[in-house]
Amino acid sequence: MKGESSVLTVPTPQQEVGSSTQELATPGKVKPERKRAGRLSEDKRFKIFAGSANRKLAEDICTHVGVQLGESKLQRFADGEIYFQLLENVRGVDVFIVQPTCFPVDQHLVELLIMIDALKRASAGRITVVVPYYGYARQDRKDRPRVAISSKLVADLLTTAGANRALFMDLHAAQIQGFFNIPVDHMFASPVMVSYFRELNLPNLTVVSPDAGGVERARFFATKMQAPLAIVDKRRTDLNVTEVMNVIGDVEGRTCLIIDDIIDTAGTLVKTAQALLEAGAVKVYAAASHPVLSGPAIERISSSRLEEVIVTDSIPLREEAQKLERQGKIKVLSVAGLLGATIESIHMETSVSSLFS
């Protein structure tokens, strides 16, 4: 095909047909949850595919679940248009697509929509989009005249394309779940991060929310860490521009941990850390689920007085950020196990509530 570039292909060995039993519901009784099968690798009606946004995370999820990544072909025409083809049968299959809509956001979003359409036209039984990072989430309401609500628009696009279910992690605003007319599972990276900080055993810890919108997230974290909570009152003067006002709470002589969902240009993060240090904090750490790290973010973090910035592999680190990782300034925690367990629970129709703890 003219104009096509390199092929992105991951082979999948032929899977054996797994046996299954069907339970009849007893009148007046609640049907018990299905128990997990021994190995999902033996379940022919379960497959995971991935786009190009974060292929390593998809592979790690497959390793955790015990299956091979689905075989597909992703190419681009000379003008940048996306060509996608499934290279195996998915008729009646419970399919999961792993694709965060990270940089370049528009490209990865369109790629996801085309993958959904291909699966729908191939008669997949159910299509679940696994979007660890949900792009366009920051425009979730009309906070100014004549602006778009892009997070709702993206929800409509995913649903119209053919998604039957969605799995997200640490949405920028919880109400985005309500923009979907399909079932949504909203997971949090907090269990992974809490385990890490418990091992660090930081003395005199205070958990800090960098703004009023993140208080619920920080409060949950503080409860798990059995630490007090502080809030930084900030005022946003323009896009990606914030002005820190004051610190609400006692941080003098404390080790502070800033909890956020996204680190974009790191302006808010660095100013928050500086405000905490000026208020008497001894050390400042930071943790965020999504390391977007745009523009001057790397330079700002590198020159800041932050002890360490902890992020997840929801989106891949850029090359510049990987240098800070090698220097110990940035630490990446994997959420592949958490997402893999959630995918397994969705497929087996078991509760995901235990994964929140």
Closest CA to 47 of 89, 75, 7, 84: 89
Q: Can you list the positions of beta strands (E) in the chain?
A: 46-50, 72-76, 82-86, 94-98, 126-131, 165-169, 184-187, 205-209, 229-238, 241-248, 255-263, 283-291, 308-312, 330-333
Residue pair 217/194 in contact by the 8 Å Cβ criterion = no
Residue pair 71/88 in contact by the 8 Å Cβ criterion = yes
Catalytic residue among 234, 323, 329, 331: 234
Q: Could you give the C-alpha distances from 275 to 205, 283, 317, 353, in angstroms and in order?
A: 16, 12, 27, 37
Which two tokens mark 196?
């890490």
Closest CA to 324 of 342, 306, 336, 337: 306
What SS3 state is found at 133? coil
- Main-chain dihedrals φ then ψ at residue 296, nearest 5 degrees: -85, 15
Give bridge partners of residue 291 from the DSSP assignment.
263
CA 83 to chain centre: 25
152 is catalytic: no
Residue pair 214/259 in contact by the 8 Å Cβ criterion = yes
Which two tokens mark 158?
């995913």
Beta pairing, strands 241-248 & 229-238 = antiparallel
Beta pairing, strands 72-76 & 82-86 = antiparallel
Which two tokens mark 212?
């009023």
Q: Could you give the residue numbers annotated as active site?
A: 234
